[in-house]
């Protein structure tokens, strides 16, 4: 049996995981993916957009994470994500629609739109799609 540590995963809206014993976590740090095993040095990591995967009981689960933080302690890891979606629940068609919609509103220059919002939306949708694709492989 590999050593386990507990994983807490929260978003502003919801607690996704509470003290789940896991064997490993891969975090989408700003500078690239980062793997964490039990007994890691305490650390605070800023998260970018990407995939968060963890192994519990030999099974791997995956989330698309949209920015946030992770606090790594000796026996637990706390992940604070701005937004998160379970990879298996991501609908690629829906994400494509969102991207199309955001691009449309960006191309209509006259309209009163929030460029940052639209760009963020595209970025989020792309992240979700990427995670979904990875998951399907």
Partner 1 sequence: MESLRDIRQNIKAIKSTQQIMQTMKMISSARIRKAQDAMENARPFATKMLEMVADLKQEVLTFPEPDDGKESWASRFFVNKTGDPQRLGLVVITGDKGLAGSFNAVILREAVSFLKKHQDKEIFVFCIGKKGRDFISRFRKKNIQIVYSSVGIFPKVTYAHAELLGEAILKEYFERNLSSVTLIYNDFKSIGSQRLVSGPVLPFDLFPSVKEEDETEFLFEPGIKEIFETLVPRLVKANMYRILLESQASNLAATMNAMDSASKNAGELVEALGVKLNKVRQAGITNEILDIVNGAEALNG
Rounded CA separation 21/38 (Å): 10
Minimum CB distance to partner 1 smaller for 60 or for 78: 78
Q: Work out whether 118 is an interface residue with partner 1 (CB under 8 A).
A: no
Query: Judged by CB under 8 A, which stretch of 35-43, 90-98, 105-113, 122-130 contacts partner 1?
Result: 35-43
Does 8 sit near partner 1 (CB under 8 A)?
A: yes
Residue among 14 and 109 whose Cβ is closer to partner 1: 14
Whole-angstrom distance, CA of residue 53 vs CA of residue 109: 39
As given in the structure block, the two tokens for residue 13 are 């809206």
For 41-49, the CB contacts below 8 A with 24+ separation are 41/72, 42/72, 42/73, 42/74, 43/71, 43/72, 44/69, 44/70, 44/71, 44/72, 45/69, 45/70, 45/71, 45/72, 47/79, 47/81, 49/123, 49/124, 49/127
Between residue 51 and residue 110, which ones bind partner 1 under the rule CB under 8 A?
69, 71, 73-74, 78, 80, 82
CB of 45 to partner 1, least distance (A): 5
With CB under 8 A as the contact rule, the residue among 43, 91, 92, 133 that binds partner 1 is 43
| Residue 34 binds to partner 1 (criterion: CB under 8 A) | yes
Q: Which residues bind partner 1 (CB under 8 A)?
A: 8, 10-15, 18, 29-31, 34, 41-46, 69, 71, 73-74, 78, 80, 82
């Amino acid at each position: 049996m590999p050593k386990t540590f507990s994983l807490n995963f929260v978003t502003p809206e919801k607690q996704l995981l509470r003290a789940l014993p896991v064997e490993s976590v891969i975090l989408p740090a700003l500078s690239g993916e980062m793997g964490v095993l039990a007994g890691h040095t305490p650390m605070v990591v800023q998260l970018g957009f990407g995939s968060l995967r963890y192994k519990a009981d030999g099974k791997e689960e995956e989330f698309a994470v949209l920015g946030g933080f992770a606090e790594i302690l000796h026996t637990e890891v706390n992940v604070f994500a701005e937004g998160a979606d379970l990879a298996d629940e991501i609908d690629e068609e829906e994400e494509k629609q969102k991207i199309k919609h955001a691009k449309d509103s960006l191309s209509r220059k006259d309209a009163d739109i929030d460029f940052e919002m639209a760009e963020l939306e595209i970025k989020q949708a792309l992240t979700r799609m990427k995670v979904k694709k990875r998951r399907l492989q």
